[in-house]
Structure 1
């Protein structure tokens, strides 16, 4: 085993990538050993969370293996560092959205008692929205989440899910139609709050 590792350690990045595209697990193991710490260090420096950084690094290398025959990578280190940076940014965006939403819900709960009905209406709508999202078909749900919650562009989503931009637009349109139908009965309850805020 050790001689095998020394064997791959002498390979160039280009040779490892070529072998990786041909399902060579030894080449993949060498790429992981060669670069995982640099990739992890970048993620950890930005996130300040070892657990989250490790999770994003594992996801990145899992994607590298699963898409080994589909990707054209010219500079391996540059590719990995850019890719982990994108994942970190996506995670931070999603975390901020969740935090803002939690703050918003907390603020609603401390409103004065005469606003209780409006607060309940918004809580009901929020719950209905989340239920509606969960009921979307799997691919549409994923596209909707990446677009509306992580604010990724159509092109970014298409690349991430390995589909065409038209497919992304189709799933977004489908998701919005289904959610509008699902939430129609809750919109009336929201109107008093909208009026009050305005």
Structure 2
């Protein structure tokens, strides 16, 4: 991928840039990057107040856009980019909330008074991670694939829809189904991981 765009692409409409991008147009990609990089970064930075994370989310979005250029079904470029960025911001905030909830749980745990804090935290996190991995493996194959793409790899619903060749409503159905099943599988850990499940509210 090249970092500079040809002057010719600067006059292209978003629709024309998408057409050029689908035929491996590196110049078109560079123009899209130059056109939308800063507005997307500004959005992420305003919401997260973290420059490094905002930059990472922008780079992740454009890396995905380039990787999917040949199969992209994007119709409206600006709407897609800002929607995808909002999904990434929301996912990042959810991960942050899960971490904060877990840290609070560890701090408030009565057992900590008698056990070395670092050791207990490490053991609790290991137990939680093991339980989550085991529970995810119990999900039906398609639901498991979609859950992993959404929660572990942080793809958006529209992106997952393209990858698994299902409608966005079907993707949302599988996510909802996965979350309901995991609530049952992880009943003992629900207090710790509850923020993970607050997705469709």
TM more than 0.5: yes
> Per-residue CA shift, 1:84-109, capped at 9, x if unaligned?
11211111011111211121122226
Gapped regions of structure 2 (runs ≥ 5): 115-119, 189-201
| Separation (CA, whole Å) in 2 of partners of 1:84 and 1:23 | 23
Decide whether the 8 Å contact of 2:143 with 2:174 is kept in 1. Answer: no
2:72 is paired with a residue whose SS is coil
Q: CA deviation at 1:48?
A: 0.6
Note the C-alpha offset of 1:64.
1.2
Aligned to 2:131: 129
2:75, 2:23 → 1: CA distance?
14
1: CA distance, partners of 2:101 / 2:33: 36
Which blocks of at least 5 consecutive residues in structure 1 are unaligned? Answer: 114-118, 191-198
Question: Of the two, which has the highest radius of gyration?
Answer: 1
CA distance in 1 between partners of 2:129 and 2:21 (Å): 45
8 Å CA contact 2:41, 2:58 repeated in 1: yes
* Greater Cα shift, 17-26 or 63-72: 63-72
Does the 8 Å CA contact 1:94/1:149 hold for their aligned counterparts?
Answer: no
Q: Matched residues in 2 for 1:56 and 1:42: separation?
A: 11
Q: 1:47 to 1:148 in 2, by over 3 A?
A: closer
Partner of 1:73: 75
> 1:160, 1:109 → 2: CA distance?
47
* d(CA) in 1 for partners of 2:5, 2:105: 55
Count of residues in Structure 1 that have an aligned counterpart in Structure 2: 171
Offset of residue 143 of structure 1: 4.0
Instruction: Name the CA shift for 1:105/1:90 in 2 (closer, same or farther; >3 Å).
Output: same
Q: Is the 8 A contact 2:21 2:28 kept in 1?
A: yes
Aligned-residue RMSD, C-alpha: 4.4
The alpha-carbon deviation at position 43 of structure 1 amounts to 0.6
Match of 1:193 in 2: none
Please state if 1:36 is matched with 2:37: yes
**Structure-1 separation of matches of 2:57 and 2:5:** 28
**Whole-angstrom distance in 1 between the partners of 2:96 and 2:165:** 25
